Chain A
Amino acid sequence: MSGVAFKTLSKIAGPLIFVEGVDNAAYGEMVEIKLPNGERRQGQVLDTRQGLAVVQVFGPTLGMTTSGTTTKFTGETAMMSVSDEMLGRVFDGLGNPRDNGPKIVSKQKVDLVGSGINPYAREEPSEFIQTGMSNIDGMNTLVRGQKLPIFSGSGLPHNLLAAQIARQAKVLGGSENFSVVFAAIGITSEESNFFIKQFEESGALGRTALFLNLSSDPSMERILTPRLALTTAEFLAYERDMHVLVIITDMTNYCEALREIAAAREEVPGRRGYPGYMYTDLSSLYERAGKIKGRHGSVTQIPILTMPADDITHPIPDLTGYITEGQIVMSRDLHRSGIHPPVDVLTSLSRLMNQGIGKGNTREDHRGLADQLYAAYAQGKDARSLAAIVGEEALSDLDKKFLKVANNFERKFVDQGMDENRSIEQTLDIGWELLSELSDSEMNRIKPEFIAKYGKRTTPGGA
Chain B
Amino acid sequence: MTDGIVSRISGPVVLASGLEGAQMFDVVRIGELGLVGEIIRLEGNKATIQVYEDTTGLRPGEKVINTKRPLSLQLGPGLLTSIYDGIQRPLDVLRAQSGDFISRGNVIPALDQTKKWDFIPVKKKGDHVFPGEIIGEVQETPLIMHKIMIPYNIEGELTEISEGKYNVNEIVGSVQTNSSKVEIGLSSWWTVRVPRPVLRKLPPEEPLLTGQRVLDTFFPVAKGGTAAIPGPFGSGKTVTQQQLAKWADSNVIVYVGCGERGNEMTEVLTTFPKLEDPKSKRPLMERTILVANTSNMPVAAREASIYTGITMGEYYRDMGYGVALMADSTSRWAEALREISGRLEEMPGEEGYPAYLGRRLAEFYERGGKAVVISPEERIGSLTLVGAVSPPGGDFSEPVSQNTLRVTRVFWALDASLASRRHFPSINWLTSYSLYADNMGEWYKNNVGNDWVALRKEALEILQRESELQEIVQLVGYDALPEPEKGVLDTARSIREDYLQQSAYDEVDTYTSIKKQYLLLRTILEFGRKESDAIKKGATSSKIGALESRKMISRIKWTKEDQVGTLVADTFDTMQKEFNTLMIEVTT
Q: Give me the interface of A with B, judged by CB distance under 8 Å.
A: 1, 23-29, 46-50, 77, 113-125, 145-146, 238, 267-271, 275-277, 279-280, 283-284, 286-290, 292-295, 312-315, 318-319, 321-327, 346-347, 349, 351-352, 354-355, 367, 371, 374-375, 378-379, 386, 389-391, 394-396, 399, 441, 444-445, 447
Contacts and interface: CB of A to CB of B under 8 A. Distances in A.
A25 B262 contact: no
A124 B8 contact: no
B296 to A, nearest CB: 4
Nearest to A277: B339
Contacts of A275: 342
A444 B554 contact: yes
Contacts of A399: 478
Contacts of B292: 119
Interface string B232-243: 111000000000
B180 to A, nearest CB: 42
B477 A321 contact: no
A125 B480 contact: no
A367 B509 CA distance: 14
Contact-residue size bin, chain B (C-beta under 8 Å from the other chain):
35 or more
A318 B342 CA distance: 21
Interface stretch (B132-140, B310-318, B392-400): B392-400
A123 B59 contact: no
B356 interface: no
B30 to A, nearest CB: 11
8 contacts: A47-B8, A50-B60, A119-B292, A277-B342, A288-B296, A346-B421, A349-B419, A378-B420
A283 B335 contact: no
B101 A27 contact: no
A50 B101 CA distance: 31
Given A124-B263, A371-B422, A354 B10 contact: no
Contacts of B261: 287, 323-325, 351
B150 to A, nearest CB: 35
Given A268-B352, A325-B261, A50 B234 contact: no
A27 B56 contact: yes
A386 B477 contact: yes
B294 A287 contact: yes
Contacts of B479: 394-396
B83 A119 contact: yes
Interface stretch (B88-96, B275-283, B402-410): B88-96
A283 B342 contact: no
Contacts of A287: 261-262, 294-296
Interface string B292-316: 1011110100000000000000000
A123 B266 contact: yes
A84 B479 CA distance: 67
Nearest to B101: A115
A390 B392 CA distance: 36
Interface stretch (B430-438, B457-465, B468-476): B468-476
Given A47-B8, A276-B335, A122 B478 contact: no
A102 B292 CA distance: 44
| Residue in B259, B422, B480 with the greatest tally of chain A CB atoms within 10 Å | B422
Q: Which 4 A-B pairs have the closest CB atoms?
A: A313-B393, A394-B477, A378-B421, A283-B295
B54 interface: yes
B564 interface: no
Contacts of B95: 118, 120-121
Given A280-B295, A378-B422, A267 B101 contact: no
Given A123-B266, A287-B295, A318 B393 contact: yes
Nearest to A285: B296
A115 to B, nearest CB: 4
Contact of A28 (B56, B61, B554): B56
